[in-house]
Structure 1
Amino acid sequence: MDRMPDTAKILPFSADERSSIAMNSPSPGLQSSGEGRTPPALFDAAQEFLRSRGGGQGHFQTPMTGVHIMRCYQEIPQMRRIYRPSLCVVLKGAKQILFGETTLIYKEMECLVVSVELPASGRMIGASPENPYLGMSIDFDVAMLKEVMQQLANPPRPAPASGPCVFVGQVDVPLTECVLRLTRMAMTPDAAQILYSSVMREICYWLLTGPYGAEIAKLTLPDSHTDRVANAIYYLRDNFAQTLRVEQLAEVARMSLSSFHQHFRAMTSMTPVQYQKQLRLLEARRLMVANAANVSEAAYQVGYESASQFSREYSRNFGVAPKQDVMNYKALVARGAR
Structure 2
Amino acid sequence: MQSDQGFNNASVPQTAELSAAIQRFANTDGDFTTTLPALTLHRRHGVSEPMPCIYNLGIGVITQGYKQIMVGDKLHNYGPGQLMLSTFDMPVTAHVTQASRSEPLLGMMLKLDIRQIAQVAYEMELPPSSETAYEPISVHNLDPALFDALMRLVRLLDEPQMLVTPLAPLLQQEIIVRLLAGPQGPQLRHIIADGTPRQRMAQTLSWLRKNFKQALNLNDLAAHAHMTPSTFRQHFRDITGMSPLQFQKQMRLQEARQLMLNQAFDAGEASNLVGYESASQFNREYKRLFGAPPSRDIKRMRLETDTSE
- With normalisation by structure 1, the TM-score equals 0.81
Counterpart contact for 2:29–2:308, Cα < 8 Å = no
Q: Distance in 2 between matches of 1:281 and 1:325?
A: 12
- Where 1:186 maps in the other structure, the secondary structure is helix
Counterpart contact for 1:115–1:165, Cα < 8 Å = yes
Matched, 1:68 2:48: no
Counterpart contact for 2:60–2:110, Cα < 8 Å = yes
- Where 2:109 maps in the other structure, the secondary structure is strand
Displacement of 1:284: 2.0
In the alignment, which residue of structure 2 is the partner of 1:122? Answer: 94
RCO comparison, higher one (Cα < 8 Å, 6+): 1
Any unmatched runs of 5+ in structure 2? Answer: none
Matched, 1:167 2:142: no
Displacement of 1:225: 1.9
Match of 1:47 among 20, 41, 50: 20
- Report the number of matched residues: 308
Match of 2:70 among 62, 74, 98: 98
Match of 1:157 among 120, 128, 137: 128
1:233 partner amino acid = L
Counterpart contact for 1:57–1:73, Cα < 8 Å = yes
Between stretches 255-264 and 290-299, larger displacement belongs to 290-299
In the alignment, which residue of structure 1 is the partner of 2:240? Answer: 268
Deviations 1:76-111 (A, max 9, x none): 334443221101011111112233443322011111
Matched, 1:281 2:256: no
Relative to 1, partners in 2 of residues 1:143 and 1:237: Cα closer, same or farther, differing over 3 Å? Answer: closer
Relative to 1, partners in 2 of residues 1:218 and 1:260: Cα closer, same or farther, differing over 3 Å? Answer: same
In the alignment, which residue of structure 1 is the partner of 2:162? Answer: 191
Q: Distance in 2 between matches of 1:118 and 1:285?
A: 16
In the alignment, which residue of structure 2 is the partner of 1:35? Answer: 10
Q: Distance in 2 between matches of 1:56 and 1:270?
A: 34
- Where 2:10 maps in the other structure, the secondary structure is coil
Counterpart contact for 1:164–1:269, Cα < 8 Å = no
Displacement of 1:272: 0.6
Relative to 1, partners in 2 of residues 1:188 and 1:235: Cα closer, same or farther, differing over 3 Å? Answer: same
2:45 partner amino acid = Y
Counterpart contact for 2:236–2:244, Cα < 8 Å = yes
Q: Distance in 1 between matches of 2:174 and 2:273?
A: 43
Displacement over 6 Å in runs of 4+? none
1:175 partner amino acid = L
Displacement of 1:114: 0.6
Counterpart contact for 2:21–2:154, Cα < 8 Å = no
Relative to 1, partners in 2 of residues 1:161 and 1:106: Cα closer, same or farther, differing over 3 Å? Answer: closer
Q: Distance in 2 between matches of 1:298 and 1:65?
A: 25
Counterpart contact for 2:69–2:95, Cα < 8 Å = yes
Matched, 1:23 2:3: yes
RMSD over aligned Cα atoms:
2.6
Match of 1:107 among 72, 79, 100: 79
In the alignment, which residue of structure 2 is the partner of 1:181? Answer: 152
Deviations 1:135-176 (A, max 9, x none): 1111113222222211224x2431279833111111012212
Deviations 1:274-327 (A, max 9, x none): 100101111222233234333333333323332222222222211222222122
Counterpart contact for 1:127–1:133, Cα < 8 Å = yes
Between stretches 317-326 and 58-67, larger displacement belongs to 58-67
Matched, 1:221 2:218: no
Displacement of 1:25: 6.0
Equivalent pairs: percent with the same residue? Answer: 30
Match of 2:264 among 292, 307, 311: 292
1:260 partner amino acid = F
Matched, 1:208 2:196: no
Counterpart contact for 1:104–1:168, Cα < 8 Å = yes
Between stretches 118-127 and 297-306, larger displacement belongs to 297-306
Displacement of 1:204: 1.7
